[in-house]
Structure 1
Amino acid sequence: MAFTFDDDAALLAPLQVGDTLAGNRLFMAPLTRSRAQADGTPSYLAAQYYAQRASAGIVITEATAISKSANGAYVNTPGIYTDRHQQKWAQVASAVHYEGGHIFMQLWHVGRMGHPDISGVHPVAPSAVAADMTAHTPDGKKPLVVPHALEMEEIPRIVADFRAAARRAVDAGMDGVEIHGANGYLLHQFQSDVVNQRTDAYGGTAENRARLTVEVVEAVVDEIGAGRVGLRISPGNGVGDVRENDPIATYEALLDRIAPLGLAYLHVLIDPTQTTFGVIRALWSGVFVLNTGRETDTDFCQLESFAQWGAVSAVAVGRAFLANPDLIDRLTVGAELNEPDVATFYSPGPVGYIDYPTLAELEARESA
Structure 2
Amino acid sequence: MSDTQDFLFKPYSMGGLELPNRIVMPPMTRSRASQPGDVPSALMAEYYAQRASAGLIISEGTWISPLGKGYAWTPGIHTAEQVAGWRLVTDAVHAAGGRIFAQLWHVGRLSHTSLLGGQRPVSSSAIQAQGVNVFVADADGKPGFAQASMPRALSVDEIHAIVDDYRQAARNAMEAGFDGVELHAANGYLLNQFIDSNANNRTDEYGGVLANRLRFLGEVTHALVEGTGDAGRVGIRLAPLTTLNGCEDADPETTYLGAAKLLADIGVGYIHIAEADWEQAPHMPVEFKQRLRESFPGTMIYAGAYTAERAREAVAQGWADLVGFGRPFVANPDLPERLRIGAPLALHERETLFGGGERGLTDYPALATESAEA
Give the alignment's TM-score, normalised by structure 1.
0.94
Contact 2:241-2:284 at 8 Å conserved across structures: no
What aligned pairs does 1:1-368 form with structure 2 within 5 A after superposition?
7-38=4-35, 39-71=37-69, 73-120=70-117, 121-132=119-130, 133-139=132-138, 140-224=144-228, 225-270=230-275, 271-273=283-285, 275-291=287-303, 293=304, 296-297=305-306, 299-366=307-374
Q: Structure 1 stretch 352-361 or stretch 129-138: which is displaced more? A: 129-138
Contact 1:19-1:264 at 8 Å conserved across structures: no
Counterpart of 1:134, as a letter, is N
Deviations 1:149-205 (A, max 9, x none): 001111111101111011011111100000000000000000011110000000001
Q: Distance in 2 between matches of 1:131 and 1:272?
A: 24
Deviations 1:322-348 (A, max 9, x none): 111101111222211111111110131
Q: Distance in 1 between matches of 2:323 and 2:300?
A: 8
Structure with more contact order per residue of length (Cα contacts < 8 Å, sep ≥ 6)? 1
Counterpart of 1:76, as a letter, is W
Deviations 1:43-85 (A, max 9, x none): 33011000000000000000000011100x2110010000000
Q: Distance in 2 between matches of 1:223 and 1:63?
A: 18
Superposed displacement of residue 237, structure 1: 1.4
Contact 2:3-2:9 at 8 Å conserved across structures: no
Q: Distance in 1 between matches of 2:323 and 2:73?
A: 28
Distance 1:213 1:326, change over 3 A: same
Point out where structure 1 has 5 or more consecutive residues left out of the alignment: none
Q: Secondary structure at the match of 1:189?
A: helix
Superposed displacement of residue 16, structure 1: 1.0
How well do the aligned residues superpose, as a CA RMSD in angstroms? 1.5
Contact 1:107-1:178 at 8 Å conserved across structures: yes
Counterpart of 1:202, as a letter, is Y
Superposed displacement of residue 280, structure 1: 2.1
Superposed displacement of residue 262, structure 1: 2.1
Q: Distance in 2 between matches of 1:89 and 1:137?
A: 23
Contact 1:5-1:333 at 8 Å conserved across structures: no
Superposed displacement of residue 241, structure 1: 0.7
Superposed displacement of residue 272, structure 1: 4.2
Distance 1:340 1:49, change over 3 A: same
Q: Structure 1 stretch 136-145 or stretch 93-102: which is displaced more? A: 136-145
Counterpart of 2:76, as a letter, is G
Q: Distance in 2 between matches of 1:190 and 1:287?
A: 24
Contact 1:127-1:196 at 8 Å conserved across structures: yes
Give the alignment's TM-score, normalised by structure 2.
0.92
Deviations 1:232-255 (A, max 9, x none): 000021111111111122123222
Superposed displacement of residue 6, structure 1: 5.4
